[in-house]
Chains A and B, each alone.
Chain A
Amino acid sequence: MASRAPAATSRLLVGFRKWYYNACGFNKLGLMRDDTINEDSDVKEAIRRLPEQVYNDRMFRLKRALDLSMKQQILPKDQWTKYEEDVYYLEPYLEEVIHERKEKEEWAKN
């Protein structure tokens, strides 16, 4: 995540990242990285905290992707999510949730 940001963002590294992002393929269904995250209890709480607009957008993208996958189709190339446009919207909320959980565990230890 953000803590693993590379010390030096060279053009080679960025090129590799872009290639990997496209190879993953979820962008062909119009999804963002945070739409694909596995929903454990922390993630569920973070999703609960999303502002209404962001949550609705997420639901829309998921619905569209499910529909496409059922029809065994993908979006036309101009509608694929681009690497530059991908917003890690869930990350701040998820970090906060994990931080809170860790705080609780610290207290429980003593």
Chain B
Amino acid sequence: SMKSKTRLGEPYGSGLLVASLENYSPVSKIGVFVKAGSRYETAENLGVTHILRLASNLTTKGASAFRICHGLEAVGASLSVTSSREHMVYSLDCLRDDFDGVTEYLINVTTAPDFRPWELSDLLPRVKIDKAVADQSPQIGVLEKLHEAAYKNALSNSLYCPDHMVGKISVDHLQQFFANNYTSARMALVGLGVSHAALMKVGEQFFSTHTGAAAPGAVYRGGELRVQSGGGLVHALLACEGAAAGSAEANAFSVLQRLLGVGPHVKRGSNITSKLSQGITKATAQPFDVSATAFSATYSDSGLFGVYIISQADSVINAAMAQVTAVAEGRLTADDLTRAKTQLMADYLMSLESSEGLLEELGVQVLSSGTYSSPQTVTQSIDSVTSSDVVKAAKKFVESKKTMSCYGHLANTPFVDEL
């Protein structure tokens, strides 16, 4: 069998990390991962990452917006930007043979954007559309509000531009944010289906002398945000501070998450393996439109863990809490544990099957820790989670200060201190 190896490198002294995985695919996928997520926004430039996310196709010093668009289209390539709270990811797909031609666009977009005032003001309708679409979705609303309530800074920043900053993000804001965060020391260049040598050559063009600004650590506070809106359902997200990504505790939380249930594994099934679902069916006769799933988010220095419930009944949240408390008291069988671990491993490995999933995993790992752990290493560390680790994680949830965000018809929804 062909052995594909992940290779890491660092073009002399720039701080940029280059990782490539030669999978002999006819399609190359290159990603530039930058530590420029919404957590690095300051009070003066809230919403700047939203604008940057939309501004990736605008004119750069080396190529006009027109040329970037048509140049990519001419070879059937595509450039897309995704941003999370921690990272901004620019990913470029192209046929392997066209790799040399299209990398200049990627380099221009990530190192030399022009930020022309008229192009930026033309972005305004797109910002408004993004926000309108996000407002329509209770899931997005509840997630954003959870982070806003849970943290004092950094991770509390929303992924979307706040209302008061729409139209007020200026060229200066963008240039400053760019200068502070898009430095080669905070970037990783990742390639799938490319030769390591070619990728290192591309990496040499990312050299920048800035060191960038230091970013504050996220401080968890625990709070509550409730948004009354119409509709018959309540979306409630109840969380505590979890563990940072990559730590052993994070693995324990992920296993606990699978134990409690993350949604049916069989379409239209009755979700027997989900403790949350089963517990709630016993507690209420009303149909719950559920998703009573366990929620887990990990960041480089913190994390969130909890339960996400969509229902009409008010007793559902307490029933869900009771399930987690049961685990915290040690009521979990060895079978449950093995099943949760297997599900987690399977989910992880399956996410690596797609090139998007693999690129993201490679990029986030390289950017956060500077190295790449093979899937075998990751599955081994998942396997080494014991039931006492899981019980400890559940206890942490039960005992620590919780955060809650709810959205919907909140007349009967308990407050976080009433749970």
Contact = CB atoms under 8 A, between A and B. Distances in A.
B66 interface: yes
A35 B279 CA distance: 76
Contact of A103 (B66, B116, B117, B118): B66
Interface of A: 48-49, 51, 100, 103-104, 107
B67 interface: yes
Contacts of B70: 107
B64 A100 contact: yes
Contact of B66 (A48, A49, A51, A104): A104
B118 A49 contact: yes
Given A103-B66, A107-B66, A107-B70, 8 more contacts: A49-B116, A49-B118, A51-B117, A100-B64, A100-B66, A103-B64, A103-B67, A104-B66
Main secondary structure on chain B at its contact with chain A?
helix
Contacts of A49: 116-118
Interface in B116-145: 116-118
A35 B64 CA distance: 28
B175 to A, nearest CB: 15
Contacts of A104: 66
Interface of B: 64, 66-67, 70, 116-118
A7 to B, nearest CB: 30
Contacts of A103: 64, 66-67
Nearest to B118: A49
A100 B68 CA distance: 13
Contacts of A100: 64, 66
A48 B64 contact: no
Nearest to A99: B64
A16 to B, nearest CB: 38
A48 B64 CA distance: 18
A48 B118 contact: yes
A107 B70 CA distance: 8
Contacts of B116: 49
A100 B70 CA distance: 13
A100 B114 CA distance: 15
A58 to B, nearest CB: 16
Contacts of B117: 49, 51
A104 B64 CA distance: 10
Contacts of B67: 103
B244 to A, nearest CB: 45
Contacts of A48: 118
A42 to B, nearest CB: 14
11 contacts: A48-B118, A49-B116, A49-B117, A49-B118, A51-B117, A100-B64, A100-B66, A103-B64, A103-B66, A104-B66, A107-B70
A48 B117 CA distance: 11
A104 B67 CA distance: 8
